[in-house]
Chain A
Amino acid sequence: MSLVFAGACSHGPGITGRAEQADVSLRNELYANFDRLRRAIEQSNPDALVVIGAEHFANFFMDNMPAICMGMADSYTGPIEDEQWLGIDSAQIPGNEALSEQLIKSIMQDIDLAYAQEWKFDHGIMVPLHFLTPRYDLPVIPVNINCQGPPLIPLHRCYEFGRALRRACDERPERIAIIGTGGISHWPATPDSGQINEQWDRQFLDHFVNNRREQLVAYTDEQTYQDAGQGGFEIRTFVAIAGATEGSTGEIWFYAPIPIFAVGCTIATMSVE
């Protein structure tokens, strides 16, 4: 048994960069649940944290856009954004190249994925790490799923990636935690930023924590775009976590639309039993 923890959280840059503009009680409750998630990860005593994020054109462009890419380096840097804009200082984040390589080789038995030995973290990974490993003392293995530049990997393949990741983790003696991080409905960095479809979010999260594969992979990009905006494509990160915890269910610890953060902020865990 090597997968020791699985969870999901939001990563909107406003969570840290525009913190002072948010409703104070909601922000504090979100932060408290990020901290609860940090403690739960620490209590699982992991040797590494796999962070499944959404590509935002920080590391990859349409000249060579991987559907899924996993980092394979002993260290990473971030944030790529201006420190003041994001509210997070630049840092070097430890990785684990050897463990990455073993996971990648195993996952490749089932899923074609790219790897990268150079990676600059953007808000999609730095915001979660800011709360979950604030001392940057836990090796991180980043994963990005292309959620911005169609054509995008189908949801059922994201679920299969999660299953392959779980199998790969369970082959290892190291204790591995995984976090999926993405928005649900949101229209980030557009004139509609701040719009959130709470009903859509709650239905998706209900499917997620009950690990209803059939419903999770049935979302079409066309319908998601209409109902949940282009940011809704990031449900791929949640679907991957569902695949990694197939047969298990989870809990939503926090959900609240926070418009200045441009997303329905979410903290959730999934059982790894």
Chain B
Amino acid sequence: MSLYYVQKLLYQVNREPYIRKRFDTDFDQLIGDYDLSIDEITALREGDIGLLYIMGVNGQILMHFAAHCGLEWSTYLATLRQALVEHGPVRAGLYATVWD
């Protein structure tokens, strides 16, 4: 799992208009620049906000990408809650932290 690169791509999509444009119009070429698994590519391509959350994408990154995908705030939160039901707990990243 390459959560680092999923988050890096979304960070750049959120921040840089030219990356956002490439994400929308040239997805297959763009993702070649990132070390991503097939599952991650599919979740990104489909804008599967819930699965991206379960994969461990930080909410501060994900909420802006969700807005870009057209999700209204209450729908965004409902999507995350439903994802927990469908996929189980968050698998990696900050929200899966187990403290020593």
Chain A interface residues toward B at CB < 8 A: 14, 17-18, 56-59, 61-63, 80-82, 85, 120, 148-150, 188-191, 193-194, 221-222, 225, 230
Q: Are A80 and B60 in contact (CB under 8 A)?
A: no
In the complex, the chain B residue whose C-beta lies closest to that of A120 is B15
Question: Which of B60, B68, B80, B99 makes the CB contact (< 8 A) with A225?
Answer: B99
Q: Are A191 and B15 in contact (CB under 8 A)?
A: no
CB contact under 8 A between A190 and B4, given known A18-B73, A85-B67? no
Q: Are B61 and A57 in contact (CB under 8 A)?
A: yes
What 9 new A-B contacts, CB under 8 Å, besides A57-B14, A189-B59, A225-B97? A18-B73, A57-B58, A57-B60, A58-B14, A58-B15, A61-B8, A62-B4, A191-B81, A230-B94
- Interface of chain B, main secondary structure: helix
Q: Are B11 and A190 in contact (CB under 8 A)?
A: no
Could you tell me the distance between the alpha carbons of A1 and B11 in the complex, rounded to whole angstroms? 41
Q: Are A190 and B8 in contact (CB under 8 A)?
A: no
Could you tell me the distance between the alpha carbons of A82 and B13 in the complex, rounded to whole angstroms? 12
Q: 1/0 contact trace for B25-42 toward A, CB 8 Å?
A: 000000000000000000
Q: How far is the CB of B20 from chain A (nearest CB, A)?
A: 11
Q: Are B94 and A57 in contact (CB under 8 A)?
A: no
CB contact under 8 A between A81 and B67, given known A120-B15, A148-B60, A189-B59? yes
In the complex, the chain A residue whose C-beta lies closest to that of B68 is A82
Which chain A residues lie closer than 8 Å to B14 at the CB level? 57-58, 80
- Interface of chain A, main secondary structure: loop
Q: Are A189 and B62 in contact (CB under 8 A)?
A: yes
CB contact under 8 A between A57 and B11, given known A81-B64, A190-B59? yes
Which chain A residues lie closer than 8 Å to B62 at the CB level? 189
Which chain A residues lie closer than 8 Å to B84 at the CB level? 191
Residue B63 interfacial (CB < 8 Å)? yes
Q: Are A193 and B58 in contact (CB under 8 A)?
A: no
Question: Which of B8, B11, B60, B97 makes the CB contact (< 8 A) with A188?
Answer: B60
Could you tell me the distance between the alpha carbons of A108 and B24 in the complex, rounded to whole angstroms? 43
Interface residues of B in 48-73 (CB under 8 A from A): 53, 58-64, 67-68, 73
In the complex, the chain A residue whose C-beta lies closest to that of B97 is A225
Q: How far is the CB of A25 from chain B (nearest CB, A)?
A: 21
Which chain A residues lie closer than 8 Å to B4 at the CB level? 62
Q: How far is the CB of B24 from chain A (nearest CB, A)?
A: 14
Q: How far is the CB of A233 from chain B (nearest CB, A)?
A: 9
Q: How far is the CB of B4 from chain A (nearest CB, A)?
A: 7
Q: Are A148 and B67 in contact (CB under 8 A)?
A: no
Which chain A residues lie closer than 8 Å to B61 at the CB level? 57
Q: Are A190 and B67 in contact (CB under 8 A)?
A: no
Q: 1/0 contact trace for B63-98 toward A, CB 8 Å?
A: 110011000010001001100100000000011010
Q: Are A189 and B67 in contact (CB under 8 A)?
A: no
Q: Are A56 and B60 in contact (CB under 8 A)?
A: yes
Nearest 9 Cβ contacts at the A-B interface: A189-B59, A189-B63, A222-B99, A56-B60, A191-B80, A191-B81, A85-B67, A190-B59, A61-B11
Could you tell me the distance between the alpha carbons of A18 and B14 in the complex, rounded to whole angstroms? 20
Which chain B residues lie closer than 8 Å to A193 at the CB level? 59, 77
Could you tell me the distance between the alpha carbons of A9 and B62 in the complex, rounded to whole angstroms? 24
